Chains A and B, each alone.
Chain A
């Protein structure tokens, strides 16, 4: 792996010598690493290879959560001659102690990278994934299409943490659907502090089993020149399912659209959506679009959206304790981004904290 690539993917969570159960690195179309640590209870391999090896799984899981013909991007990815991306499979009852890391790097000008990721966490199993996506400065006018299908079994738990650092000039179209069965938990943490020319994603989580839970946390920093249309949809399809969507957006002059949709379709569902935006620039905009759909008479669903600037009295309060205006502003911004992300192994929460702490207004 060349040094420049390594530096880039380290910024999105990759660790060469870290405590990782398994690692996958793809640059362009080439798989640079696909390895599983000794005695780790999981399977990880390139999706194409997995499809050839496990036809019965293809039958059950491939293009079942995301339909091939959902849109032009899924169709283009499905039609690609060779299947790219990663496949992770944790069997029934297995708990993977260390995170599994997967990095996808975009390295060529004008490239169109199409990946199809499949993650299966069977009943009672647990998996922590850290997925990093980044691109080379040279990769202009390139696009990344990422289809992810994830299956969380009964009583299983999947924590999926995504750190994105795309260069300007990249178009990104993730298409993700997660199915969570009875008593299962899905936690998604999406952190993008670099922006990208154009991101549009609205991943779908379907709580298909009774008592399933999901929590989607997103932290977005939108610099000038970036268009980020990022959302999350949760369908609460079974009784007593719970969902929470929390988004923090900082606009530094780009265009930010935060969508959030919660649909309660069964008895006893509880869901909350919180979308806060901070405008730190005279340019750009934040558009917060929360949506709640209730289909039962006992659905408990709420949302809270707030967009604004930093309150001057907060800055003065910190200044009265001796900080200068710039330090005070930086502390408030970091605090704003400091979403309480629970249930993460310390190695991941430290990684996220480091990413948030490194945030500077004067990039």
Chain B
């Protein structure tokens, strides 16, 4: 579904991502681990097509189509949808209207809002004065209306309490209930793994993917034990040796 090949990306002339390769098939849920400032949001934003991320090299294919040069609205139409970590406020545009823009019929808006406990926010301006948890729920509400084939979540658990993470998980699972849908989820702490059935994990470290595995729980354990820098290679090697899992050590 998504194929990223040799992707290098700069932001304001600073090289952030180097030579990224990533493949996500329909039905898979990938999580992307990595410390702060390592380029995780840059990777998601580049896949979505935000202009401030400049592709220096490489290609992005979605459903077989080269989307590297497409504006983000075209990508949204093809089936990409992203939850932004710190979305801007759009004053004067109601959340209700926004959910309709995302593709919900007016009658459907209330129903989706109930699922996210957002009924009382529908007639407020999008994101204006929303708390951390409300921002996430508003984002997921929009994505449930958008029903993207590839769901991109940027740190869904950051700054929210357990109840809100559960709601985020519920929404993500609803979008992923279509077995052909897939997801790429950035997580810093891994909490989201308890709510979303992740199938693959990657570690992004200093702008490179240093580990790719099909056992997200194992990778998380490894990170918790040894930290990102040490485990990025170690956990891959040890797992490969133990079980020939197919994990690839990409460091060094």
Interfacial residues, chain A to chain B (CB-CB below 8 A): 311-314, 316-325, 328, 331-332, 334-338
Overall SS of chain A's interface: helix
Contacts of B81 in A (CB 8 A): 320
Interface string of B112-132 (1 = CB under 8 A from A): 000000000000010000000
- Partner-contacting stretch, out of B6-14, B70-78, B188-196, B237-245: B70-78
Task: Identify the interface centre among B48, B73, B77, B142: most chain A CB within 10 Å of its CB.
Answer: B73
Give A316 to B90 CA distance when docked, in angstroms: 11
Task: Determine whether the beta carbon of B72 is less than 8 Å from that of A320.
Answer: yes
Contacts of B90 in A (CB 8 A): 314, 317-318, 331-332, 335
Task: Determine whether the beta carbon of B84 is less than 8 Å from that of A320.
Answer: yes
Contacts of B252 in A (CB 8 A): none
Task: Determine whether the beta carbon of A335 is less than 8 Å from that of B101.
Answer: no
Q: How far is the CB of A349 from chain B (nearest CB, A)?
A: 14
Task: Determine whether the beta carbon of A334 is less than 8 Å from that of B92.
Answer: yes
Task: Determine whether the beta carbon of A335 is less than 8 Å from that of B87.
Answer: no
Number of chain B residues whose Cβ lies closer than 8 Å to a Cβ of chain A: 27
Contacts of B52 in A (CB 8 A): 312
Q: How far is the CB of A358 from chain B (nearest CB, A)?
A: 15
Task: Determine whether the beta carbon of B51 is less than 8 Å from that of A322.
Answer: no
- Say which residue of A317, A323, A331 sits within 8 Å of B88 (CB atoms): A317
Task: Determine whether the beta carbon of A324 is less than 8 Å from that of B92.
Answer: no
Residue B146, interface by CB 8 Å: yes
Give A335 to B93 CA distance when docked, in angstroms: 5
Top 5 nearest A-B pairs (CB, nearest first) are A335-B92, A338-B92, A319-B73, A322-B76, A335-B93
Contacts of B76 in A (CB 8 A): 319-322
- Say which residue of A311, A319, A321 sits within 8 Å of B98 (CB atoms): A321
Q: How far is the CB of B132 from chain A (nearest CB, A)?
A: 17
Give A331 to B77 CA distance when docked, in angstroms: 19
Task: Determine whether the beta carbon of B88 is less than 8 Å from that of A313.
Answer: yes
Given A312-B52, A322-B102, A331-B90, output 16 extra A-B contacts at Cβ < 8 Å: A311-B88, A317-B84, A318-B101, A319-B71, A319-B72, A320-B73, A320-B76, A320-B82, A321-B76, A321-B101, A324-B73, A332-B93, A334-B93, A335-B125, A336-B91, A336-B92
Contacts of A320 in B (CB 8 A): 48-50, 72-73, 75-76, 81-82, 84
| Residues B214-250 near A (CB distance < 8 A) | none
Given A312-B51, A320-B82, residue A325 in contact with residue B88 (CB < 8 A): no
Contacts of B98 in A (CB 8 A): 321
Give A161 to B155 CA distance when docked, in angstroms: 47
Interfacial residues, chain B to chain A (CB-CB below 8 A): 48-52, 71-73, 75-77, 81-82, 84, 87-88, 90-93, 98, 101-103, 125, 142, 146
Q: How far is the CB of B81 from chain A (nearest CB, A)?
A: 8
Give A331 to B73 CA distance when docked, in angstroms: 15
- Say which residue of B72, B91, B92, B103 sits within 8 Å of A316 (CB atoms): B72
Q: How far is the CB of A288 from chain B (nearest CB, A)?
A: 17
Contacts of A331 in B (CB 8 A): 90, 93, 101
Q: How far is the CB of B125 from chain A (nearest CB, A)?
A: 7
Task: Determine whether the beta carbon of A322 is less than 8 Å from that of B84.
Answer: no
Give A357 to B18 CA distance when docked, in angstroms: 46
Chain A's closest residue to B89 (CB) is: A314
Contacts of A324 in B (CB 8 A): 71, 73
Given A317-B84, A331-B93, residue A322 in contact with residue B103 (CB < 8 A): yes
Contacts of B101 in A (CB 8 A): 318, 321-323, 331
Contacts of A334 in B (CB 8 A): 92-93
Pairs A–B under 8 Å by Cβ, sample size 7: A319-B72, A320-B76, A321-B146, A322-B76, A322-B77, A334-B93, A335-B90
Task: Determine whether the beta carbon of A337 is less than 8 Å from that of B92.
Answer: yes
Contacts of A323 in B (CB 8 A): 73, 101
